[in-house]
Amino acid sequence: MFFYCTGKYYTGLRDGRIVEVLPDRIETVAWLDPKKVGPEVCSKPYKFQCGRALGLRFDSKGTLYAVDPHHGVFAVNVQTGAIKLVVDTKEIGAKFLDDMVIIEKPGGAGMIFYLSDVSTRWDLNQAMFCAAEHDRTGRLLSYDTQTKKMTVEYENLAFPNGLELTDDKSALLLCSINDRLVYRYGISGPEKGKLVTILDNLPGEPDNIKRSADRTRETFWVGIYTARNKHRPHFAFDVVAKNVYLTRFIVRLQFIVGSVVEWYAKLVDSDCLLKIGVGFKSGLIPNMGHCEYGMALEIDAKGKILNSLHSPDGKTCALSEVFEMEDQNDGQRRFLLGSATNPYLGRLSLPVSAFRTASKLETKQKETVKLGETPKPVKTVESTPVKTKTAESKPPPQAKKTSQSAKASQTSEAKRDEL
């Protein structure tokens, strides 16, 4: 997850650091270390002592808020590095917070945090199991910083992940990894409380979604984590997953083996064995079916695909986020490529001419629509992620308010900056 504020770019690392991304290096801004165990322990994330910033947002006053799946939401002073836990996962009953959007209430009366909670059964360390069993206990939450109350906006979601706010602030765009789609959820106006599928049947799992740097039109970039097609299926998600019993056997075997190795590692005080045990227990070892194709999509607020970036050789894949950097008016579009598993930060620069711009799309539309015809609107499918009710005719199932105290288009490779 990246975020841009006052000319600076920030991101979070696996060891709990929040860093500023500079042209030739990174600089540590803060550590999510509420237990104050120190950098040495935090540098060993398999010990689960420190936090991990999955979502970053700034408010209008310059305070950075970081979503940590283990502890909650931290307020971070990027000048001093001081951190303060403002939303505790234990208090709101969350187990796997992932991303966040901030809505500042008028008159300085606090803020509303919209949070994606991946699962009520699995945490970050068992994310692979959440995907393997197609878990549907995910939720969209909101938290009022003034009243200290949490509300379940929508539940029974399949690995809800990236969140982004539309330009008019009337809706959220939400990615679902397990269902491979993008939702639009109304938070104000006539669409409030309504969940609609705007893009589905994606060739991979959509991870984070971010507003593009294009201010002439409202578009968003979606990172596809494991892009593939029927000729190049993913072993774990497409082959093994077809057999429910085989999937259960492998998942349980991994968990048992990992637990035994982890127990023995603690007994003999071996960091090496502990890392292996946690790797098995979290589903990262063995990595069955590593991604072989990289992809990112640029879509509009209605889910129409406008542009796409590709890495057919898979050298740049497992994309958790594609963040477009601010336009420097030099005819280039620049991107930062983030990943939950890759040990590097990718940079990509492409000429604007490689993309379909608004004028190109309009010209193409005029050429393909026959005289006298009007273009067909983008088809949206009403979401039925829970039970069989549709959000159009009835309120979202269990959506009641319950309060609680991305080779791109042309052949091009991403420059890798080793972290």
Question: Could you tell me the residue range of the domain that residue 191 belongs to?
Answer: 93-201+371-405
Question: Side chain identity at 167, as an amino acid letter?
Answer: D
Ranges 103-112, 179-188, 404-413, most confident: 179-188
121 lies in some domain: yes
268 lies in some domain: no
CATH number at residue 131: 2.120.10.30
Q: Taking all residues of the chain, what is their mean pLDDT, rounded to a whole number? A: 83
Instruction: Round to whole Å and give the CA distance between 83 and 28.
Output: 13
151 lies in some domain: yes
Q: Measuring CA to CA, how many Å separate 350 from each of 219, 355, 408, 414, 415? A: 17, 9, 8, 10, 12
Of 56, 235, 63, 279, give the one whose Cα is nearest residue 162. 56
51 lies in some domain: no
pLDDT, tens digit, 9 for 90 and up, residues 25-50: 999 999 999 999 988 888 887 778 89
Q: Residues with Cβ < 8 Å from 115, sequence gap 6 or more? A: 67, 73, 87, 94, 97, 98, 99, 100, 140, 141, 142, 143, 163
What band does 358 get if pLDDT is binned at 50, 70 and 90?
low
30 lies in some domain: no
196 lies in some domain: yes
Instruction: Quickly tell me which residue has 């990595």 as its tokens.
Output: 287
Point out which residues pair with 5 in neighbouring strands. 8
Chain CA centroid to CA 143, Å: 19
Strands 305-311 and 294-300: antiparallel
Out of 10-24, 111-125, 188-202, 398-412, least confident range: 398-412
What's the domain count of the chain?
1
286 lies in some domain: no
Task: Tell me what pLDDT residue 131 has.
Answer: 84
Task: Tell me what pLDDT residue 7 has.
Answer: 78
Question: Which region, left, alpha or beta, applies to residue 72 given φ > 0 means left and ψ of -120 to 50 means alpha?
Answer: left
Which is more confidently placed, 155 or 341?
155
190 lies in some domain: yes
What band does 371 get if pLDDT is binned at 50, 70 and 90?
very low
